[in-house]
Amino acid sequence: MIVDLNLQDKSVVVIGGGNEAQKRINSLIRQGCDITIISDKIIPQITKLVKSKKIQLIKQKIQDTKFISELNPDIIITTTNDKKLNQKIINAGKKKKIITYSSDNPEESDFSNPAIIDFEKMIQIAIFTGGRSPAMSKKLKKKSEEVFKKIITKEDIGQIKIQKIARDIAKEKIATITERKACLRSIMTDNEIDQLIKDGQMKKAEKRAITIVRNWK
């Protein structure tokens, strides 16, 4: 089952400071979570993130699992080259009911990292092989990306932005879920809004969507 975790304000500890750690950090950094790296060595890309205060660094070599009790994170991601240590961290995390992930052992991890096709951080499409072959996930992502680029348009992205604004207002103005859904569908199929988005007049499109919500009966 593929799910999108809400990591806002959650505490995430990443063990390791190499390329694999950077990949995980890149996927976490826009989630609004508190990221702490534990490693005695880090690559320049991670150093930049530390200096810009986007992530925190505890500079030490991990040899045991004491950090779990000290930091009490919500999620642990381990990316070291030491398989035994990674397994030890996974086992210790699970005992404390902490969500754990090891880059070299997705089968025993609590979650997997699918290959993500991203469109302006508005649409994410996951390519997932159940942890059986990350390499094939990446290959299929590249093949699929060109197809989806032809299918998903700027107008689709614009409509998502409009829907977000309208949905927030509808929650306050329209009492029932059924009516809210009907209102949002009417906005999605509104020819005038569609044309305004195509013409790049997003502010006018937003204004019309808001008017529809406020006048909904």
Looking at residue 30, what DSSP letter applies?
G
Residues 16 and 58 in one domain: yes
Residues 204 and 123 in one domain: no
Residues 96 and 124 in one domain: no
Residues 14 and 96 in one domain: yes
| Contact by Cβ (8 Å): 188, 158 | no
Residues 144 and 49 in one domain: no
Q: Is 130 helix (H, G, I), strand (E, B) or coil?
A: coil
Containing H/E element for 164?
A: helix 154-173
Share of residues in the chain with pLDDT > 70 (%): 100
Domain count along the chain = 3
Residues 5 and 107 in one domain: yes
* Cα–Cα distance measured from residue 13 to residue 113, given in angstroms and rounded to the nearest whole number: 16
Residues 168 and 89 in one domain: no
pLDDT per position as a tens digit, 2-59? 778 889 999 999 999 999 999 999 989 988 999 999 999 999 999 999 999 999 999 9
Q: How many other CB atoms are there within 10 angstroms of residue 197's CB atom?
A: 22
- The domain of 196 spans 155-214
Residues 98 and 204 in one domain: no
Per-residue pLDDT, 116:
87
Q: Is the pLDDT of residue 132 over 80?
A: no
What average pLDDT score do residues 125-146 get? 87
> What's the pTM value of the predicted model, to 2 decimals?
0.76
Residues 96 and 183 in one domain: no
Residues 33 and 84 in one domain: yes
| Contact by Cβ (8 Å): 63, 85 | yes
Please enumerate in sequence order all residues whose Cβ is within 8 A of that of 34, keeping only pairs 6 or more positions apart, or say none. Answer: 9, 10, 11, 12, 56
Strand partners for 127: 115
Per-residue pLDDT, 143:
93
Residues 102 and 92 in one domain: yes
What average pLDDT score do residues 136-154 get? 92
